[in-house]
């Protein structure tokens, strides 16, 4: 059921604006440019058996097997048997890197090696969804409210397509649209063919540009698609935030699908060309990136080679994903996983900075207005991996509540969890947290609120599943 505010925002013809609360623009140096560069083929690929949402525990190949490009390496039995596909033809080596399938003696890229297979055969929506699973495009979809992979056997109540990536630094939708607009438009039609009468909302930034106007003009008059605009404020591109803003509240029986520009392009590749989706366009960015840019590489591309392509001088922390919500990579992480949308690089400080905890100077941004950075609105900050001071007790300043897009009280949740009150946290609606990381970013006490809330949400989820059996 739509709220009165969202219903009013959606009235009238043409693109409509929804106004979302909370959020904050995190301005960091190292934003990738729009160009997309194809990197050289590596000597070997190390394909991870785990990604953010998938665990490919059933390995379907043996050491020494020769696999074709698009062949099944493993599947995730807990998520509709979604397959992990071989990005290139190659020889399987299972003992070279723990938690990875290594491919050696690689063949030429699949796109050059063979002619298109043609669109898959099934004509009904259910069959086309099955084809998306088999061809590796299903991981680009997620349930808007949970972030989990949707069930391909269950049609959605609505679909959200976002052209935006607002967290620094992830692959930008406008970079893809500039070079693949025609494929994107065809992909939207493929998406509509997966549905019956469910609406599709195309979410675009509230900007006036030649590209945005062209997209809106090309889509004008499509009854099955509603163009929605939002301000470019992080995390207003988050699917849970968008779904709530549109009045599409959580319903386990009828989920809302979410996918981004690259997901629509994956649909077109799988359903339009009949090709497996094995390559990714990712960003190489961050303050420690020597040349921030977008690159196109196969899944399993060596992370060491990617970091060497982008990093400048000095020690660097590699983060899979964005600067606020990404995961720090360790020596055990050898290859690009199937869901990674960016590699963020932060400088590792060599020594403790004198008076760093004060955050003095105009070169450092603070959400509070009591530092010189308040005079330099819009200035980008070259953050490093340092904490800049020590963690301290919550001072109940309320800054976390100001930026929270879910309109919950992160400081109250922190205090409830600190005293072990998981039930209290549930009553404070910790389930509404979208894991954007803004509360931790603006916190002057440097509390690791994101980690606390994610762990609490996962604990509550496991308890709920145990009760339900």
**Percent of the chain at pLDDT above 70?**
86
* Statement: residue 397 has pLDDT above 80: yes
Query: Residue 1 — very low, low, confident or very high, per pLDDT cuts 50/70/90?
Result: very low
Query: Residue 382 — very low, low, confident or very high, per pLDDT cuts 50/70/90?
Result: confident
3-state secondary structure string across 133-158:
HHCCCHHHCEECCCCCCCCCCCCCCE
User: What local confidence, expressed as pLDDT, does residue 309 receive?
Assistant: 77
The whole-number average pLDDT for the span 413-436 is: 92
Residues 6+ apart with CB under 8 A from 395: 444, 445
Domain 4-30+117-273 has CATH 3.30.2320: no
Q: What's the rounded Cα separation, in Å, for the pair 177 and 183?
A: 9
Residues 6+ apart with CB under 8 A from 218: 181, 185
Is the CB of residue 381 less than 8 Å from the CB of residue 359?
Answer: no
Q: At 187, which helix (H) or strand (E)?
A: helix 173-193
Residue-wise pLDDT tens digits, 57-81: 999 999 999 999 999 999 999 999 9
Q: Looking at the chain, which residues constitute the CATH 3.40.50 domain(s)?
A: 4-30+117-273
User: What local confidence, expressed as pLDDT, does residue 75 receive?
Assistant: 97
User: What local confidence, expressed as pLDDT, does residue 347 receive?
Assistant: 86
Q: What's the rounded Cα separation, in Å, for the pair 52 and 29?
A: 26
Residues 6+ apart with CB under 8 A from 13: none
Pairing of strands 316-320, 72-76: unpaired
User: What local confidence, expressed as pLDDT, does residue 158 receive?
Assistant: 96
If 0-12 CB within 10 Å is exposed, 13-18 middle and 19+ buried, where does residue 306 land? Answer: buried
- Average pLDDT over the chain reads 87
The whole-number average pLDDT for the span 116-131 is: 70
User: What local confidence, expressed as pLDDT, does residue 269 receive?
Assistant: 95
User: What local confidence, expressed as pLDDT, does residue 320 receive?
Assistant: 94
216 φ/ψ angles, rounded to the nearest 5 degrees: -65, -40
Q: What's the rounded Cα separation, in Å, for the pair 128 and 122?
A: 6
Residues 6+ apart with CB under 8 A from 465: none
Pick the closest to residue 254 from 151, 161, 162 (CA basis).
151
Name the more confident of 334 and 392: 334
254 φ/ψ angles, rounded to the nearest 5 degrees: -135, 90
Pairing of strands 36-38, 293-298: parallel
Side-by-side strand order, sheet with 45-48: 45-48, 100-104, 90-93, 66-67
Residue-wise pLDDT tens digits, 16-34: 889 899 999 888 889 998 8
User: What local confidence, expressed as pLDDT, does residue 91 receive?
Assistant: 96
Residue-wise pLDDT tens digits, 194-227: 988 899 999 999 988 899 999 999 998 888 999 9
Residue-wise pLDDT tens digits, 233-275: 999 999 999 999 999 999 888 999 999 999 999 999 999 999 9
Question: Which has the minimum average pLDDT: 102-111, 118-127, 141-150, 371-380?
Answer: 371-380
Residue-wise pLDDT tens digits, 145-187: 999 999 998 889 999 999 999 999 999 999 999 999 999 999 9
Query: Residue 190 — very low, low, confident or very high, per pLDDT cuts 50/70/90?
Result: very high
The whole-number average pLDDT for the span 416-435 is: 92
The whole-number average pLDDT for the span 82-103 is: 95
What Rg, from alpha-carbon coordinates, does the chain have? 22
Residues 6+ apart with CB under 8 A from 411: 394, 396, 397, 398, 400, 401
Is the CB of residue 9 less than 8 Å from the CB of residue 268?
Answer: no
């Amino acid at each position: 059921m739509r709220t009165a505010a969202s219903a009013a925002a959606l009235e009238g013809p043409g693109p409509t604006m929804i106004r979302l609360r909370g959020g904050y623009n995190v301005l960091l140096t190292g934003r990738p440019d729009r160009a997309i560069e194809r990197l050289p083929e590596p000597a070997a690929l190390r394909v991870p058996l785990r990604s953010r949402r998938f665990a490919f525990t059933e390995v379907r190949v043996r050491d020494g097997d020769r696999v074709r490009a698009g062949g099944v390496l493993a599947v995730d039995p807990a998520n509709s048997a979604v397959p992990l596909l071989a990005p290139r033809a190659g020889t399987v080596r299972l003992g070279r890197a723990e938690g990875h399938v290594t491919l050696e003696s690689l063949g030429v890229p699949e796109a050059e090696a063979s002619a298109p297979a043609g669109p898959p055969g099934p004509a009904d929506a259910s069959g086309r969804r099955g084809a998306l699973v088999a061809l590796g495009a299903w991981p680009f979809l997620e349930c808007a409210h949970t972030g989990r992979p949707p069930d391909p056997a269950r049609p959605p109540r609505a679909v959200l397509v976002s052209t935006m990536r607002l967290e620094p630094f992830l692959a930008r939708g406008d970079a893809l649209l500039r070079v693949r607009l025609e494929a994107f438009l065809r992909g939207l039609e493929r998406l509509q063919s997966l549905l019956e009468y469910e609406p599709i909302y195309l979410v675009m930034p509230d900007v006036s540009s030649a590209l945005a106007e062209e997209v809106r003009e090309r889509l004008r008059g499509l009854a099955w698609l509603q163009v929605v605009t939002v301000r470019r404020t992080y995390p207003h591109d988050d699917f849970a935030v968008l779904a709530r803003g549109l009045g599409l509240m959580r319903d386990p029986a009828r989920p809302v699908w979410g996918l981004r520009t690259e997901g629509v392009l994956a649909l077109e590749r799988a359903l339009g060309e009949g090709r497996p989706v094995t390559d990714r366009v990712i960003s190489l960015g961050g303050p420690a990136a020597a040349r921030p840019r977008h690159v196109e590489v196969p899944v399993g591309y060596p992370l060491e080679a990617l970091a060497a392509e982008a990093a400048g001088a000095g020690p660097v922390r590699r983060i899979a994903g964005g600067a606020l919500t990404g995961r720090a990579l360790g020596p055990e992480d050898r290859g690009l996983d199937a869901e990674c949308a960016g590699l963020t690089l932060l400088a590792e400080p060599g020594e403790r900075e004198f008076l760093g905890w004060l955050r003095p100077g105009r070169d450092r941004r603070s959400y509070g207005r009591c530092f010189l950075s308040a005079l330099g609105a819009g200035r980008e900050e070259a953050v490093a991996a340092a904490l800049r001071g020590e963690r301290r007790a919550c001072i109940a300043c309320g800054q976390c509540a100001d930026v929270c897009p879910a309109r919950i009280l992160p400081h109250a949740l922190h205090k409830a969890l600190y005293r072990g009150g998981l039930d209290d946290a549930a009553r404070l609606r910790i389930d509404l947290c979208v894991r954007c990381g803004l509360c931790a970013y603006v916190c002057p006490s440097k509390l690791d609120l994101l980690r606390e809330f994610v762990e609490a949400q996962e604990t509550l989820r496991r308890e709920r599943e145990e009760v339900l059996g």
